[in-house]
Copies of this chain bind each other. A is one copy, B any other.
Amino acid sequence: MGHGGVILDLFVMLAAAKVLGEICERLRIPGVIGEMLAGVAIGPYALGWIHPGEMHAQIAQIGAVFLLFTIGLETKPREMLRVGGVASLVALLGVAVPFAGGLLVMHLTGHPVIESVFVGAAMVATSVGITARVLSDIGMLAHRASRVILGAAVIDDVLGMLVLAAVASLAMGHIEWVRLGLLFVEAIGFVVLIAWVGSRVASRLHRPVFRMKSRRPGFAFALLLCLGLSVAAGKVGMAAIIGAFLAGLALAEKKEDWDLGERIEGVSEFLSPFFFVVLGMEVNLSAFNEPSVLGLAVLVTVVAILGKLVGCGAGAYRLGFMDSLRVGVGMIPRGEVGLIVALLGMQTGAISNAVYGVVLFMVVVTTVLPPFVLAGLFRGERPESNAAEPIGC
C-alpha cells in the first residue's frame, strides 16, 4: 500500500483546510477562504510542504465536480427556469462588458489589438464554484439572486466556451464561423436537452434502477449520472462542473426518491476542500515585483471586477438594487478558462509573459475577494425569502 504518498498529501491538505477554515469561521469569514489560505500556506510559494502535481489537480477537479453536483441537487429546475430571462441577460451583459472593458484598457495602455483581444477574452468566463460554495455555506442557495447566479453561470459557460473557440481560431489566423456555429449549437443543445428533459428521463429511469439487485442502486445511478454528464459537457467544449451541475438539477425535482441520504454530501464534503486548497496553492503574488507590471495587473483586475459588477448588475436590474449587487458580486470570480485563454495567447505569441502574469493576477484576486463581500450582502435575509415570488421575464 505504499508508505505515505498520496494519503499523506491528502491528510496535510485536509488538516490545513480544516484548521484555517475553523479560524475563518470564528472570525466570521466564510470557511472557503480559510481553505484557499491553507493552500497558499502549504503550497510551493510559502511553506512548500506540498508541490502540486497532476494528482492534486485531478483530485481538485473531482472535488469541484461533486461540489457542483450537490449544488445542482439543491436547485429545483422549475425555480431555475423561472429566472431564465434575467439569468440570460446577466450572462450576456456579463460577457460583453468585461470583454469590451479588457480590450479597451489594454489598447489604451498601448498594447497591440491582438493582445488586447486575448486579455478581453480571458476576462469573460465566470467560475461559479466559489460563489456556489459560499451561498451553500450561508444557506442561501434558494434565494432569488442565487438562482439567477447559478442560471447565468450555465449560460456564461456556453458563451465563454465560444469566446475561447473564437480566440483559438483567431490565433490560427482566421475565425472559422461554421465551426463556431456548430460549437454553439452543440453546447446550447446539450444544456437545453438536459435542463428540459433531464428531470423527466431521470423519473422514467427510477423504476428500472430500483429493480436492480445491487445495493444502493440510487446512489450508484447518481454517481454515474454526475460523472457521465461531466464527461459529456467536456466533449461539447464546456466545463465538466457545468455537466455535474445539470446532472444534479435532473435529480433535484424528486431528490428524496433516489435514496441518496447523506451519501452524496459525504463525497462532496470530503473531496471539495481539495479544490479550494489546490486553488490556493497556485497563488504566487511574489511574481509581481516589477511596479509597471503590477500597475497593469491592478488596472486589469479593477476592470475585471467592475465589468462583471456593472454588466451582471445591469442584467439583473429588474430585481432591485440589492439583488443586482448580489448577482454582480457573485459573478466576479474568474477561473481556469481565463487561464486557458491566456496560455493559448502566450503559446501562439499573441501575448507576452508579463501579460500572462497579469491575467493570472486577475484570476487570483477575482477568486479570493468576492467571498469576503458576498456573505455580508446576504446578512439578514431569510434563506427562501424570495423563492415563491415570480419574476417577470
Contacts and interface: CB of A to CB of B under 8 A. Distances in A.
Interface of A: 1-8, 10-11, 14-15, 18, 21-22, 25-26, 31, 54-55, 58, 61-62, 64-65, 137, 212-216, 219-220, 223-224, 227-228, 230-231, 234-235, 237, 239-241, 261-267, 269-270, 336
Given A212-B22, A219-B269, A239 B10 contact: no
B234 A65 contact: no
A176 B241 CA distance: 54
A7 B65 contact: yes
Contact of A2 (B15, B25, B137, B240): B240
Q: How many copies does the complex hold?
A: 2
A227 B10 contact: yes
29 contacts: A1-B61, A1-B64, A2-B234, A2-B240, A3-B237, A4-B231, A4-B234, A6-B58, A6-B61, A6-B62, A7-B62, A7-B227, A7-B230, A7-B231, A11-B227, A11-B228, A11-B231, A15-B224, A18-B214, A18-B220, A21-B214, A22-B213, A25-B213, A26-B213, A31-B214, A219-B269, A261-B266, A262-B262, A263-B270
Contacts of A264: 266
A220 B16 CA distance: 12
Given A239-B1, A241-B1, A270 B213 contact: no
A336 B1 contact: yes
Contacts of A61: 1-2, 5-7
A21 B240 CA distance: 27
Nearest to A22: B214
Contacts of A25: 212-214
Contacts of A266: 219, 261-267
Contacts of A65: 7
B231 A8 contact: yes
A55 B237 CA distance: 24
A234 to B, nearest CB: 4
A369 B224 CA distance: 28
